Every structure is written in C-alpha cells, then in structure tokens.
Chain A
Amino acid sequence: MSKSRRLSYEGVAVAVPVTVPYVRYSTHTAHWFIGQALAALVKESGIPKNEIDGLCLSSFSLVPDTAVGVTQHLGLSPRWLDHVPTGGASGVMCLRRAARAVQSGDADVVACVAADTNHVDSFRQTLGAFSNFSRDATYPYGSGGPNSIFAFITANYMRTYGARREDFGRIAVDQRTNALANPNALFKKALTLDEYMAARPISDPIHLFDCVMPCAGAEAFLVMSEEKARDLGLPHVVIRGAIERHNAFAEDPVMVQGGWRMDRGDLYAQAGIQPKDVDFIQTYDDYPVIVMMQFEDLGFCEKGEGPAFVREHGLTYAGSFPNNTSGGQLSVGQAGAAGGFLGMTETIRQLTDQAGQRAVKDAELGLVCGFGMVTYDRCLCTGAVILGRSE
C-alpha cells in the first residue's frame, strides 16, 4: 500500500443532513425533490439561498436537464457547479469534489444534493437506456436489470467462498431492524430470517429481500469550512480520508472484489487509523453480496471470510459491528441517486447526535462507502470516506 501523499481534507466541515421524505411513487419531477432538499438546507442552516455558491448534484431522472438547468429552475447563481453521474458512489464523490472546492476557495458553501423521482414506469424506462453496453449487451438478455448481473456475482461468490443465503439474510434482517428506528424508512415491518428465506425468487439466487425498492426522494448536505460551520453554530463532522476508483479489477471474469481494495491502504493512511478503529460502517447495499464484499475489501476481514464475519457479528446499530444504521436502501428504499447519499446523511446524523433511537453508542468514526453504475457486468465506481466527530 502506497503512503498517501495527497492533500488532506483538513479544515472542511460536512453539515446539515437533510432528507426529503421518500415515497414509493411520485408524480413530481426530480426538480421538485431537489427544490425541497435545497429549501430544507436553507431552513436548517439559516444560510440564505444566495449564499450557497456551490452546487454538486446527482440525479438520474433529471434528464434532459443537468445541474445547469437546475440553477435556472431554482434561481441559483453558484460560482462552482458539478454534476456527478456516479449513482451509488455519488455521495462520496460529491463530497470529495465539494471539499476540494471549499479548500481551494472556489466556493464557500457547497450544497450536495441527490434526488430522483419515481413514476410508475420510471424504473423500466431507466433500465433500457442506462448505458450503451446495457442497451447492447445486457438488456436484450432477459431485461432483468441489475438483478440478473448481481445474481451472477452472488452465485459465483457463493460457489467460490461457500456463502449461503442465510448469510446474506443476516445482513437484510439486521438492516430491517435498523430501519424500524428510522421514521423515513419505507419498510415498517420487521423481517425475520424465515421470511427472508421464504421470499419469492427474482433471479436465482437473488430473492425478493435481496433487492432494493425503487422510490422517490432526496438526500442532501452542506460542505463548508470548519470555521464557517463553527461561526454559524452548525453541528458538523470532518473528513478524515476519502478514496475513489473506477473500473477496478477489469480482468476479473466475474466481480469478486471492488475498487475499495485497491485504495484502502491510502484511505486508512490518510485517516491515520486502522479498520478496527471504525465505529460503524454504511456500506452500499444494492445487494447483500456487495455489503459482504465491502467488509472484505475495506479490511474488516480477509477475502472469502465475509460469510463467517457476518455470522460472528451483530450488524444492527446496537450490535458489535453496526452496518447501515438507517436501514440502508434494502429497508429504507432506493430513491435513485439519493441511495448514494443515504450513508452520508446517516453518518453525519450519527456523528452529530441526530440519530435518535438508532444512535451508535460513543461513535467517533464512521465509514461511508459508495458503489455505482452497472454499465455491463459489474459496478464501475467505488468510493469510501471516513468521517469523524469535529473536535
């Protein structure tokens, strides 16, 4: 692992986690959810809209608009603008970009917003036109969307490392327990392992509770200097380290490891910590197998030990290894690109004492992971950030 020679993220504060309540379907457009997210940021921070001089946006359903159209739609005049197309990795990646903008002085207050709407037929329409490769080489094959790709990845992982469906079930069941303590979660009923095992098959070995439920909603937060956050009296967290990687391990015939593995040394070196120092993790949970891979690839256990690790740890907010304390996308819902922000807003809440009943006791450090964009046979974008309580 190479020693990090990158500039630290010192002096940057991450604050004001907001969530626009999720709904299964909405007749509004993505612009509505972005507008509501910005309004909440303004209201909760006390920072006037015209003082938000940076905007970093992630959304699928905004097309044909981008962040550019949003400035006029919502009457913003930022001096720094970015549109991050990395989906499930956009939380980490928006934060990295916004933090550098603030450090360099290109912007003072950056609003990072991820929002998507979900109309009744949105999901199907998104799938067919998701990428050139999916149009040419996966959608004509059964049109199962990411389910069939992650079915391959899960089946291969199970065969290679001896994971069983029950192991993935533990992840889903504990996340549901967490979700019951999150008022915004769309799933309100407890899930038992028996119910998980008895669920209907979607694409073997993927069954119903291995899949996220598409919905509409938004997640957002502000990035500014620590000094400004302190002046405004805003509870905030600091960035201890952050990494990203795209199209890692392209030679693996089937995905068995993610880009986190390539950069984790850099991540922990930048933060000056070891994996054991992390108090909780927000994995990207599009499918439980990926959660298990993150445990391995971020150094909590060796490759192939994920199943044993899951059997040995409680993954609820009160467990020995709290994972996805909000309930994650599996139990809160996947509001498009906002799914990539869910772990970020949850971690800010956890480390600024806003997590209520699901607070992880004495938590100082949280690890947030991102994973985004299946263009063909695997997800391409990986990222991770370690957030810590401010001094």
Chain B
Amino acid sequence: MTMPLMRPKRKNPVLRTQQMNLPPAQRGRVALGITAAAAEGRFELQQCEDCGTVQYPPREACHKCLSARLRWRAQSGEGELCALTTLHHSNDLFFRERLPWRLGLVKLDAGPTLVVHLHGEVGEAPARVRVGARLDRAGQAVLIGFPNEGSPHMADDKMLREMTSDPKFRKVLVTDGKTPVGQALVRALVQAGADIVWVGHAEPWKKTGGLEDITALPQVTLVPLDLTNGRSVSELAGEIGGKVDIVINNAEVHRTFGIGSRRGTDVAKAEMDINYFGLLRLAQEFGPALKGRSADGVTSATAWVNLLSVYALSNFPPHGTFSASKAAAYSLAQCLRAEMRPAGIRVINVFPGPIDDEWNQHMPPPKLAPAGLASAIVKALRDGVEDVYPGDVAQEWLERWRDNPKVLERELAAGG
C-alpha cells in the first residue's frame, strides 16, 4: 500500500529552494526509440521482424539472428521480478538527494531481462510485475516495475511522483477561464486535488457564461491575464510566477477562414497574437520562475501544457490561418520543451481534433467535448506523457499523418 500523500507544510521562506540535479539524460540514438513511445504513454521494445525476438537494451541488430529489421512493438510488460535492491548510495546527485531508492531486475515474459525503477507496492522477489515506460525528470524514458494490482494511492509513490506531474496539491495557472475548455479544465484540476487554480480572464468587463460557477469553487482565484499584452503577462508573473507549479496555456483565437475567403490580415494577426506570441510572452515571463522551482519538494514546479491542435501537424484549409498559427505555436513549444528540459520541467503538447465549441459549429461529429479534453490533459499530467492526441479524430489524423504526410495533405485539401 502506498501511503496517501499529505498536504505539505508551508514552505519556510528563509530556506534556500532546492535546485534541480537531473538524473542521467544521456541515451544513444537507438535507445531514444523507447523515449519516443513513452512520450505518448506507450511501452515499446525492439522486436525482430525476421525471428520475432524481443530484445533489450536496444541494439542495432537482432542479437539472435543478426537481422537489421527491428521494429518498435508495444509490450504488455508482464514479467517476473527476479531480484530487487534498495540503493543507499549513488554516484549521481539526483538519486543521492532521493535515497533510498528501489530497483528491480525483471524477466519479461516476452524474453529480455530489464533493470527497472521499482514501485513501492512491489514486494519481495519473486513476484509478478507489470513493466511500463515513463519519462523521468530528464525527459528520457525509464522503465518502471508496477505491482500487478495497485492500491488507490499508488500515484503518490515517491519514485513515481518524480516521473509524473500529478496535479494533487499543486498550484495551477489556466490562462483562459472564459471558454468551455478552460472551465472544464478548472473543474478537472480541482477534482484531481489541485491546491490552487489561478484562472486567467482577459477583458473582465465582458461577462461570459460559466465563469461565476467556477469562481465559486474554493480553490479558484480569478486573475487578470491578457496574453496579447506583455505588461499584463509580466504583472501576473510578478505576482504568482514563483508559486505556480503547472502552467496550462489554453488561451486561443480560432476563426474559420482560409486565405481567399477574407481580405487583409487582421484576423490572422489576432490568431497569431494569442496562439503564437501569447505563448511566447507567457513562456518568457513564467518559464524562468518554473525552472527555478523544479526540485522544490513533492509539490515542485513540474509541467507546462500547451493546447495546440491536430491541425498543427498538417494544414486544414477551411481553418487555414488557425492551422498556421497552431503550427507556429507547435514549433515554439518544441523550443520551449528543449529549454525547459534541463530544469526538469515537462512540456506537454496537446493536439486535439475539432472541439465541440462555437468555432467548430459546422464540423460534423465526432467532436471532442471540453470535459473530455480536460480529462485527457489531467491524465497526461498524471501519466507524465508529453504528446497527447485526444479523441478519435486526432488519433485518426495522427495515424494518417504518420503513415504518409503527403497523402494526408491531399486528403485535407479535398475536404478531410
């Protein structure tokens, strides 16, 4: 049983905030295949296309038949714990600061032997375990041995909480509380145990539905935030930047036009100003504060979430300028991820298909319900993944894009 995490005491402001020492981040190119899968929440190992051997650690050839035809294949992770050890000494600062630390040696039913981080609920060897892949604080995949049947509080395991960005007891900024998605996010975060949810609202004189309801929640505080205004972003960062553990940037402008259906660039500029420059302003102001608190105890700063769009992968002409702004934001988010990774802050990019809101009124179903998107984002935080494609449409587009981006481009030009 994992002891449920207790609300940490208030921080002593006199003490120095512990700084991050990342776990070892070096990996060979082949080994990054595990990271690529883990970034989307999958556990994959190399399997030989010729003889079927599953192997680990990753290699350049099949160690059985020497074939170079190796494919990454999803694994069930079922296996047997052969031995475990508790480290009381480590040569690396990250682990040294977190001792004791449990490790296991697992023989997968699929074949190979794995060294894994061991969840606290896994008992003495021999024991049946389930291995999964997670991203560690360095943003690289590591394997974790989970108990076959976990307890309700298993997410609070000390080791696992280092690998995830669970909102429980954390302080979150949602940049736009006026949209259905923003309001669904606030509710989902409160339900997930967030300590404080700061909710941005631009142009406070404009009353919109639903805002009162979420403001009534005791965890919620409305804060003025206009991402088009550098001073507004800067002022808010000065006020709460040093306390925010998770930033969720859901503010967006979405208009349904391509190039020929509208004259001028005003609307496209408005989209870029929020969707791209808004992210840039936010990252410049809140990024450094988050980085400085990434090792600040069990409720450290931990993650940055960008609400992008699956249209960022390939332009959807009926929403052409919106797609372009999201593609720009996606590119910037990759830069943000690279800059946040050395501090151990995870950047989660969310690529939904059409959301069931007023700007997708003409899109046929299936459309992603705001509550569904919100729960996908909370799940991503809890699972510690970094790329999320929520909903059936996003999943289908992703599959088509991976299969052949050029074919998808032609299909989208023809209407979808």
**Which of A129, A132, A135, A155 is in CB contact (< 8 Å) with B84?**
A155
**Which of A127, A140, A203, A253 is in CB contact (< 8 Å) with B85?**
A203
**Which of B26, B63, B89 is in CB contact (< 8 Å) with A144?**
B89
Given A132-B28, A147-B89, check contact A254 B115 (CB 8 Å): no
A152 close to B82 (CB less than 8 A): yes
Q: Is A48 an interface residue (CB 8 A)?
A: no
Given A153-B83, A203-B85, A254-B113, check contact A140 B142 (CB 8 Å): yes
B24 close to A140 (CB less than 8 A): yes
Given A135-B26, A141-B115, check contact A202 B89 (CB 8 Å): yes
A144 close to B90 (CB less than 8 A): yes
Size bracket, chain B contacts: 35 or more
Q: Is A356 an interface residue (CB 8 A)?
A: no
B117 close to A123 (CB less than 8 A): no
At the interface with chain A, which of B9-17, B101-109, B212-220, B289-297? B101-109
Q: Is B136 an interface residue (CB 8 A)?
A: yes
Determine the residue in chain B with the shortest Cβ distance to A124. Answer: B91
Q: Is A28 an interface residue (CB 8 A)?
A: no
The docked-state distance in angstroms from the alpha carbon of A204 to that of B88 is 8
Q: Is A206 an interface residue (CB 8 A)?
A: yes
Q: Is B207 an interface residue (CB 8 A)?
A: no
Determine the residue in chain B with the shortest Cβ distance to A139. Answer: B24
CB contacts under 8 Å to B, within A104-135, are 123-124, 127-129, 132-133, 135
The docked-state distance in angstroms from the alpha carbon of A16 to that of B24 is 43
A interface footprint on B74-114 (CB within 8 Å = 1, 0 otherwise): 00000000111111111110110000010101010000011
Q: Is A376 an interface residue (CB 8 A)?
A: yes
CB-CB under 8 A from A204, the residues of chain B are: 85-86, 88
Q: Is B270 an interface residue (CB 8 A)?
A: no
Most chain-A Cβ atoms within 10 A of its Cβ — which of B23, B82, B91, B107?
Answer: B91
Minimal beta-carbon separation of B23 from chain A (angstroms)? 6
Q: Is A201 an interface residue (CB 8 A)?
A: yes
Determine the residue in chain A with the shortest Cβ distance to B107. Answer: A253
Size bracket, chain A contacts: 35 or more
Minimal beta-carbon separation of B113 from chain A (angstroms)? 5
CB-CB under 8 A from A153, the residues of chain B are: 83
Q: Is B27 an interface residue (CB 8 A)?
A: yes
Given A143-B92, A144-B90, A159-B125, check contact A128 B85 (CB 8 Å): no
Minimal beta-carbon separation of A280 from chain B (angstroms)? 32
CB-CB under 8 A from B84, the residues of chain A are: 152, 155
Given A201-B88, A202-B88, A254-B82, check contact A143 B95 (CB 8 Å): yes
**Which of B58, B89, B90, B101 is in CB contact (< 8 Å) with A136?**
B58
CB-CB under 8 A from B24, the residues of chain A are: 128, 135, 139-140, 143
The docked-state distance in angstroms from the alpha carbon of A46 to that of B142 is 56
A135 close to B92 (CB less than 8 A): no
CB-CB under 8 A from B86, the residues of chain A are: 201, 203-204
Determine the residue in chain A with the shortest Cβ distance to B31. Answer: A136
Minimal beta-carbon separation of A147 from chain B (angstroms)? 7
CB-CB under 8 A from B25, the residues of chain A are: 140
Most chain-B Cβ atoms within 10 A of its Cβ — which of A136, A142, A155, A204?
Answer: A142
Q: Is B140 an interface residue (CB 8 A)?
A: yes
**Which of B23, B27, B56, B85 is in CB contact (< 8 Å) with A148?**
B85
B103 close to A141 (CB less than 8 A): yes
The docked-state distance in angstroms from the alpha carbon of A139 to that of B140 is 12
Given A136-B27, A155-B125, A203-B88, check contact A142 B103 (CB 8 Å): yes
CB-CB under 8 A from B88, the residues of chain A are: 200-204
B113 close to A128 (CB less than 8 A): no
CB-CB under 8 A from A149, the residues of chain B are: 115
A206 close to B116 (CB less than 8 A): no
Given A142-B101, A253-B113, check contact A136 B85 (CB 8 Å): no
- The interface of chain B, by Cβ under 8 A from chain A, is 23-28, 30-31, 56-58, 63, 82-92, 94-95, 101, 103, 105, 107, 113-117, 125-126, 136, 138, 140, 142
28 contacts between A and B (CB under 8 A): A127-B91, A128-B26, A128-B92, A132-B28, A135-B24, A135-B26, A136-B28, A137-B31, A137-B56, A137-B115, A138-B115, A140-B27, A141-B103, A143-B90, A144-B87, A147-B89, A148-B103, A151-B85, A152-B115, A159-B125, A159-B126, A201-B86, A203-B89, A204-B85, A250-B63, A253-B113, A254-B113, A377-B115
